[in-house]
């Protein structure tokens, strides 16, 4: 649970903000109203707040002293203000805050909740800054770290590619154009040869006055472009956050298209597409590939007796056991209502051992519900077929027939 510091002298706004954050952000909020109370709270907490929401003007601090105090503790801070003149905006950004929030905006509370959630997500985001100037590397890294991004740096494209190969989970690359040996546009090409826009975002940077450079970056695979010497901090954060959002949203859309909404396992369509590739590889390499069909026993009875909501819980329960038991050793999908299919590299005897472990784990893990006051005993019937057959479809059909024979043999068993 997050510990959040809220400094706000308005009783109405403070009370409403505290309640909304605690209800929607899984956070504990410490609310103070003055600079003096905040000093006491920081000392008591030893500065251990994950982030702070600060009113710029307090009864005992009219000139933003509260921001200096909290930021000096290394706490990521957002500023409330009712005045957004150019002078106030400049004052706020000089204090190295993560963002400002307009108190008079009717959507301010929603903005606060979204900002808190974003900061939480930023802690899982990895950003690479590539620039031959240590001054710019440090400047951009500091800005990113204020918003709790994890940051790596590289002085040139060669080092950047070494880091990217080592950390393929990088979400965003910020790269300068003018660098020794390989420029930023060529680096974009190298990154795009390995990672699509749905996997990694790129923002080009340059202090050059060449107006065509932005277009050149984008045509070489960048998502955006920033002029280094003239950008506003606010603009920088907007562009970075937008690029991260694009990557995350594209990933979500991809998952929606290939994964089952209820279990998070792969769906039927993707199973057949990817399964064909696995089957062809196995046939070409002359390796073993087993196919196992699993069906939840007496599933109609579960739905009729307990309702479809419990039936859905049963499907989710089975899928969790499959994920935990198989891990990354096989390709698993939900291909029907209560049917699952597995493709894995193993001979038929080893496949039987794997499926026997799955069967036992399911049989020994009843589904608990109604605050664990009730339970349903679950079991599965499994059919397994090897790839000594001409097509994946025939292999799946054979495993399906064997699974139904297992049901006829009394259920909760395996047939090969």
The answer, yes or no, to whether residue 314 has pLDDT greater than 90, is yes
Which DSSP state fits 250? H
**One fold for 123-255 and 268-415:** no
Section 201-223 average pLDDT: 90
Strand duo 339-344 + 330-334: pairing = antiparallel
* Number of residues written out for the chain: 416
Q: CATH: 3.40.50.970, 3.20.10.10, 3.40.50.2300, 3.40.309.10. Which one for 2-119? A: 3.40.50.2300
| Whole-number Å distance between alpha carbons of 90 and 128 | 27
The closest alpha carbon to 49, from 71, 19, 20, belongs to 71
pLDDT at 107: 82
For β-strands 172-176 and 201-206, DSSP reports them as parallel
Fold classification of 268-415 (topology level): Alpha-Beta Plaits (3.30.70)
- Our CA angle for 56, 62, 67, nearest 5°, is 40
Residue ranges per domain, the chain?
A: 2-119, 123-255, 268-415
Mean pLDDT of the chain: 91
Mean pLDDT across 236-244:
93
User: What pLDDT, on a 0 to 100 scale, did the predictor assign at position 45?
Assistant: 85
Residue 209 has pLDDT above 80, yes or no: no
- At residue 92 the predicted structure's pLDDT band, cuts being 50, 70 and 90, is confident
Within 30-169, where are the H helices?
35-45, 65-72, 86-94, 108-122, 134-146, 157-166
Q: What angle do CA 223, 226, 230 make, to 5 degrees?
A: 170
**HSE (side-chain half, CA atoms, 13 Å) at 376:** 26
The pLDDT assigned to 374 comes to 85
Tell which CATH architecture fits domain 123-255.
Answer: 3-Layer(aba) Sandwich (3.40)
Q: Which 3 state secondary structure label does DSSP give 414?
A: strand
């Amino acid at each position: 649970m997050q510990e959040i510091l809220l400094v706000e002298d308005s009783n109405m706004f403070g009370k409403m903000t505290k309640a909304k954050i605690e209800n929607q952000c899984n956070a504990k909020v410490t609310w103070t109203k003055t600079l003096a109370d905040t000093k006491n709270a920081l000392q008591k907490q030893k500065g251990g707040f994950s982030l702070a929401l600060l009113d710029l003007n307090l009864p005992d601090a009219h000139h933003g002293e509260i921001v200096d105090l909290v930021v000096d503790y290394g706490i990521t801070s957002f500023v409330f203000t009712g005045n957004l003149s150019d002078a106030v905006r400049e004052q706020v950004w000089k204090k190295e805050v993560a963002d400002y929030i307009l108190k008079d905006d009717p959507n301010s509370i929603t903005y606060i909740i979204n900002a808190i959630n974003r900061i939480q997500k930023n802690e899982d985001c990895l950003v690479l800054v590539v620039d031959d100037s240590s001054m710019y590397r440090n400047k951009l890294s500091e800005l990113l770290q204020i918003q709790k991004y994890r940051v790596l740096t590289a002085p040139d494209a060669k080092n950047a590619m070494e880091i990217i190969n080592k950390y393929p989970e990088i979400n965003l690359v910020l790269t300068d154009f003018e660098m020794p040996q390989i420029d930023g546009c060529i680096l974009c090409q190298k990154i795009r040869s390995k990672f699509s826009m749905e996997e990694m975002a790129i923002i080009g940077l340059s202090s050059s006055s060449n107006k065509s450079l932005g277009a050149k970056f984008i045509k070489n695979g960048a998502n955006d472009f920033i002029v280094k010497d003239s950008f506003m901090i606010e603009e920088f954060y907007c562009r970075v956050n937008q690029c991260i959002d694009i990557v995350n949203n594209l990933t979500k859309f991809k998952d929606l298209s290939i994964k089952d909404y209820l279990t998070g396992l792969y769906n039927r369509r993707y199973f057949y597409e990817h399964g064909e590739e696995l089957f062809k590889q196995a046939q070409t390499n002359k390796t073993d590939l087993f196919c196992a069909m699993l069906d939840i026993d007496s599933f109609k009875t579960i739905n009729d007796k307990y309702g479809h909501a419990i039936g859905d819980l049963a499907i989710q329960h089975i899928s969790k056991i499959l994920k935990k038991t198989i891990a990354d050793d096989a390709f698993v999908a939900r291909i029907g209502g209560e049917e699952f299919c597995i493709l894995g590299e193993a001979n038929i005897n080893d496949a039987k051992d794997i499926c026997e472990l799955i069967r036992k784990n399911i049989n020994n893990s009843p589904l608990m519900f109604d605050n664990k006051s009730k339970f349903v005993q679950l079991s599965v019937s499994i059919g397994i077929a090897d790839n000594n057959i001409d097509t994946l479809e025939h292999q799946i059909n054979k495993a399906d027939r064997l699974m139904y024979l297992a049901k006829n043999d009394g259920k909760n068993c395996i047939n090969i």
